Structure 1
Amino acid sequence: MEGFTLFDTIVLIGYISLISWIGSRFGKDQHNPEDYFLGGRKIPGWAIGLSVMATQASAITFIGAPGWGFEGGLERLVTFINVPLAMIVLILVLVPIFHRAGIYSIYELLERRFGPATRTLTALLFLIARGLATGVVLYAPALVLAVVTGWSVNLTIIIMAVLAISYTVMGGISAVIWTDVVQMFVLWLGALLSIFFLVTSLPGGWGDVFDFGAASGMFNAIDLSFDPSVTYSLWAGLFGGFFLHVAYFGTDQSQIQRVLSSPSVLDAQRSLLIGGYLLIPQMLLFLFIGVILATYYQQHGLTPPEDLNELLPRYVVNAFPSGMAGLVIAGVFAAAMSSLDSAIKFTLSSDRS
């Protein structure tokens, strides 16, 4: 139970510096607007797909989803089971239209069809919504990171904001996507390491997890009830979630601009296949960590913190070897920075005339 050590701080600073360097180095490759806004339309589909996933695995997801799993088991998984269906619609209908239109943003297409007033209004709504969301995306993880690192909330926000703005403005969409790729691997590594250390700390290992989860009803992810008061029923996930994700992945500029940066329609479609079909196992991974954390707290007779968002970060800094904890917390920083750099990049593209 060492907490966040000096070595962890060094690793954290080093990782953040590396992410910033990776992002900023793409600035030398920006020769025209297409390079800056669309990466020259030559970014591979697999990288775009991971970047799409990175927008879903924000810092809030990394610290929030285990809290959901701790509290309600796998019930929230139904919110994402519709994503493959949504992706089929996007792949067959919307992606070919967007990609062949040769646009920089979805708002250009709206202007061609409905006129400049529609473009201005929709772009303004996007800017307002993205600005409000970005505040939450930065502030919420900053509160948790401040607790586990000992840094002030204001300092945490400033570090993430300054670095993300710097490399995004210099590197464009390429910087956003490739830093997202690095971020995803670090977050997955952190999740897998968390599972390993948690399970090995339990007397009965996986047996304890499955016994506790089954006895507590945490594995009851599919609720077939037609009762509208049931928040996470299968039908709410399939139908309500379907329209939610079609709207998000198909009309939100933060998603569409990534798709437009691919070299061909086929690559764009492949990117959505990667991002869409890996999203369910990714969410399952983070929710399952919450179930294991619940087992861990029950086995050790511990009282969870009032803020369940602190569960996983606190465990990481207290149970991981020095240095490794810093790397995982750095991934949370990178996730928050990724959410911010996406907002900045796609805000710039939505304003492009």
Structure 2
Amino acid sequence: MPPPLLAATLPAIDLVVIGAYFLATAAFAVWFGRRNADTEGYFLGGRNVPGWAVGLSLIGTSISSISFIALPAAAFALDWRLLVANYAVIIGMLVAVFVFVPLFRALPYTTAYEFLEARLGRFSRLYCALTVMLFQLLRIGTVLFLVSVTISVLLDVPIVWVIVLGGLFILLYTVFGGIEVVIWTDVVQTFVLWGGAIVIFGYIAFEMPDGLGGGLSRAWHADKFSVGSFGWNLQERTFWTLLFVGTFDAIANNCSNQTVVQRYIAASSKREAQKAVWISLLLSIPTWTFFYLVGTLLWSFYNALPDPGLAAMTPEEIVPHFTLHYLPVGVTGLIVAAIIAASMSSLDSSINAVSTIGTTDVLRRYLTPGATEKQFLLYAKLLSAAAGAAMIGIALVIATLEMESVVDLTRRIASIFGGVVGGIFLLAIFVPRVGPKALLLALPIAVGVKVWYGVVLAGWLPASWQIPVHTYWVGVVSNVTLMVVAYALSFIWPRSGSRELPVEERDADDAAAL
């Protein structure tokens, strides 16, 4: 990036703050990268990470730039209805504490999908591994796009440059450092993220013409705190749609998302893993709420002080615009660092997860089972690099799309492209009578629901053929279809054999959870 272009937008002190943050992250990668001698260290940190660090890492991973930029944008553009889905994670995390953590801690596995093979056969493992890899790539492309929008506005640099250069930096430190650098940088990034959000909130309140109370009152009377209609309409984003969809997604995510399960396993003990989930639960809810409050106050601020320039902006550009025009010198650099931290804490986790799945569930299991540990470590780093390159390409494509908000786009992507992985895991954990054959026969029907919906949305079939539910429901409908059909077929083709799971000695007291 040409220095004059940067200097024209941000003072030197802001650039120093941003540069210091990048140098600190690079130093973390070098420090932890030297300790990775095998895939056990690269993927799981030697299974010895303290629970409090894992918990903060879970927060950083779940928040990302989708919280720092897109949640305020969603509140600014609409209201608080999308927050309902975030609150639904309470149920998912409670199930995780008492069911999923004991389960995965008692198994000698690196990925969640190894468990699937033990329960439902090789096909279920391969299908879920490949589906999750695809979804994670779509997700990190979206997150990289979000942070690039912000940095592009703040630095007055073309978004293509930001996507490519920012993506390359994240790719390099993740490839070199492995899961330990991911977790420990997530810890630092979470605190930077909170600091940036608090600063923005303080300055909005300070600059509000009629004070914080006046801003809140104006937003309240404009119904900006609405959580959606309480009517039962499956074709709209009502309160009930967001609650039920969010609850199902949260439960499925906590047992099938490798970025989450990998942290259960990386913790030093079952108790530490459970502590991590509790920390994430207790801190994520107020964090998400705070980000929505920031977006609502920004709407109130610009409602009182109209800015003609907003008409040409997307909702995701509102926070960067306020940061650039209202925050003092030095503070802007902190906000840019916070936004970068928010994205990096999510992107590095997903890149490492894709590498873990690809190495463990595809290469080690099928393609190169006889490779040495040194070769697998090399493959893991190459897969991390490939995932980072794909992230950059997807972000460049998303930059050309039109959308209401990125939060909305993310939920649509998850619903349509997320496969039926959650349903498969729930069957494997809670319905032991379902076997590989029943699952294999039910899977095409469930996937067909998603394909049908996608084909109609693409305009290849008449709109009247569309399933009469909102896009957000498609994931739930297809997963429930899978579970119901597989359960019914299990009475014709029940699972044969006991398929006992190999309990790890250090957590043998949790065998009852299996």
Give TM-score, length-normalised by structure 2: 0.65
Q: Pick from 231, 251, 257: which aligns with 1:252?
A: 257
Runs of 4+ in 1 over 6 A off after TM superposition: none
Note the alpha carbon deviations across 1:5-62, whole angstroms, 9 max, x for none: 3332232122122122223311122233322211111111121112111122211321
Instruction: Work out the percentage of aligned pairs sharing the same amino acid.
Output: 31
Partner of residue 206, structure 1: 212
Give 1:133 deviation, angstroms. Answer: 2.1
Match of 1:297 among 302, 317, 330: 302
Residue 190 of structure 1 and its aligned partner are, at CA, apart by 0.8
Q: Which has the higher contact order (CA 8 A, sep 6+)?
A: 1
Are positions 1:243 and 2:277 aligned together? Answer: no
Asked whether 1:51 is paired with 2:57, we answer: yes
Q: After the TM superposition, which of the residue ranges 24-33 and 292-301 deviates more from structure 2? A: 24-33
Work out whether 1:125 is the aligned partner of 2:125. Answer: no
Give the match for residue 167 of structure 1. Answer: 173
How much has 1:169 moved relative to structure 2? 2.0
Identify the residue that residue 284 of structure 1 maps to in structure 2.
289
Gaps of 5+ in 1: none
CA contact (8 A) 1:253 1:346 kept: yes
Residue matched to 1:66: 72
Change (3 A) 1:229 1:128: closer
> What is the DSSP-based 3-state SS (H/G/I as helix, E as strand, rest coil) of the residue aligned with 2:34?
helix
Contact between 1:74 and 1:221, CA under 8 Å: does it hold in 2?
Answer: yes
Quick check: 1:92 aligned with 2:98?
yes
Aligned equivalent of 2:157, options 151, 158, 175: 151
- Mapped to 2, the partners of 1:59 and 1:219 lie a distance apart of 22
Amino acid of the residue matched to residue 263 of structure 2? R
Shift of 1:181: 1.1
Does the CA contact (< 8 Å) of 2:231 and 2:238 recur in 1? Answer: no
Q: Displacement of 1:223 after TM fit? A: 4.4
**5+ residue gaps in structure 2?**
1-7, 365-514
On the 8 A contact 1:3/1:318 being kept in 2, the answer is no
- Structure possessing the higher radius of gyration over alpha carbons: 2
Aligned partner of 1:307 in structure 2 is: 314
Give the residue type in structure 2 aligned to 1:32.
Answer: D
Alpha-carbon distance in structure 2 between the residues aligned to 1:35 and 1:179:
16
User: In the alignment, is residue 334 of structure 1 matched against residue 351 of structure 2?
Assistant: no
Cα deviation digits, residues 197-226 of structure 1 (max 9, x gap): 111112331221221122111223364322
- The one-letter amino acid paired with 1:108 is E
Name the SS for the 1:80 alignment partner: helix
Q: Distance in 2 between matches of 1:4 and 1:250?
A: 44
| Alignment deviations for residues 249-284 of structure 1 (CA, whole Å, 9 cap, x no partner) | 221111111121101111111111111232221111
Cα deviation 1:141-186 (Å, max 9, x = unaligned) = 2133212212232331233222222222222111101111111111
2:225 alignment partner in structure 1: 219
Q: Decide whether the 8 Å contact of 2:153 with 2:320 is kept in 1.
A: no
Question: Aligned letter for 1:248?
Answer: N
Q: Deviations over 1:282-332 (max 9, x none)?
A: 111111001111111122122324311011111112221212211211221
Shift of 1:194: 0.6
Which moved further from structure 2: 339-348 or 94-103? Answer: 339-348
Contact 1:16 1:334 in 2 (8 A): no
Equivalent in the alignment of 2:271: 266
